[in-house]
Structure 1
Amino acid sequence: MSSTTTITAAAPRAALVTGGSRGIGAAIALRLAEAGADVAITYVRDEDAARAVVAKIEGAGRHAVALRCDAADAGAAAEAVHRAADALGRLDVLVNNAGIGVLGPIAELPDAEVERVLAVNVRAVFLACRAAADRLADGGRVISVGTALSRYAGGPGSTLYGMSKSALIGLTKPLARELGPRGITVNLVQPGPVDTDLNPAGGPFAEGQRAATALGRFGTADEVASLVAYLASADAGFITGTEVVVDGGHAA
């Protein structure tokens, strides 16, 4: 059933953050909870990490739920949207954060890896948005997390990942037009190098990424989360159909 409610407060009431058990996703989930939202997160394997995020959200005084969801499964993304809306009683914000990166020379990428990256980074996001179009409250928010590599030249071996994330640009703009009459905004956040377990600031590939930024450092998950929380707020109600870059001056 489509929601007919409307966001009236400065903070959303209920949000779903895919891939919210660690890294940027966990930071986003916590920041939205601190802003007053109840939050559902999805995870694939690490149930303990998901439980830890739920405990922190509940510690902030908000309701939280963790949903196991392998976005590579065709029906899982849409199902997660409906499960989250049912568990929280409504849905005001969808944050498409879950994604995977497979790097390597294009000639050496196995078909199975190509299919999984496209399934998680492209198909699952589209299907989640399609389900959310039915469940989001009027005045809601759709925010996807991409990568600065889809805007500027990435390094060798990033072809598949960059291509998959570039698809989010093509999704964001027309979807903003489609959902705009309901006051729903659709935006894409493009992070540069961010210090996470998957891409640590002290890792073997960090120096080149650090040197490519104007600030000469990695960003933090909290810095990305603060931008997402702003786009999810009522204050950002006139921002839609755009890419917002948080990359430390990678393109400066």
Structure 2
Amino acid sequence: MKRFAIILAVTLIGFIASCTRVEDGDIDPDALSKLAKCPLRSISSGTGAPVFSFEYTLGRIKRIVTRESGEVSSVFTYNLKNKIDKMVIEAGNSSDAYTVVFEYDAAGKIIKSKTSIKDYQFMTNEFTYDGEFITAVSTQFNIFGATAKGKTRVEYLGENVSKVYTQIDGYPELLTFEGVSYDNKPQYLPSGYRTMALGFIGIANNFFASLGKNNPTMVKIYDDNGKLNETTQTSYQYDKSGIVTNADQTMTNADNVKTTRKIAFEFVCL
């Protein structure tokens, strides 16, 4: 049985991952300040072709576009508390749009996401926290009149996600994501990306790599049978303040076929 019986082919984090272990030490506060004032604007391939773009309005992220496998855009709206309350996802020339609505607790944490298409709600995620860290996700799918429930369990190494396990409707729990190693630099993805990721959990577990403190340098993705499907390694280059500027990436599939590419990061000061 496929663990995720959803037709929503979106891969928004294929660029993550490398070879260094987590190192101790605090992140330079100047780097955090720089990322807050000058967030990520684009991720491009070595040839200059755009892979991701991030658009901002009034200092808030408004739109994320990925061109990894066709163009997919996510557009955000905000509530009166300046929190993202809705995300609309459109893929290529398709007339169908997916809508994700977020619910928050009194502390401002996302506790639920609801995903629908043409007003038909087909997925709900409910999040459990330990402090600031998501430790579990309960997912319910409603597809073609059938209901399936899933549970996701999250383990951490320090402040980064190390392993994610998923179980669907009584089937054995399987490893789906492994964050093998991270750098010791501040997470370069804007907070809006991590909010977007919570709308996709239950469909693509590799989004968990974006929820930590640092940038993933090696991640492993497992298939529906718990077998290793892809390993992604990324070696980053940084500026003097510890902000990523470029990266060399190697992706190895289940047949041990390797693909390499270079990535460039560009930031914009708001």
TM-score range, shorter-chain basis? Answer: 0.3 to 0.5
Which structure features the higher share of strand residues? 2
Which structure features the higher share of helix residues? 1
> TM-score, with normalisation over the residues of structure 2?
0.32
> TM-score, with normalisation over the residues of structure 1?
0.33
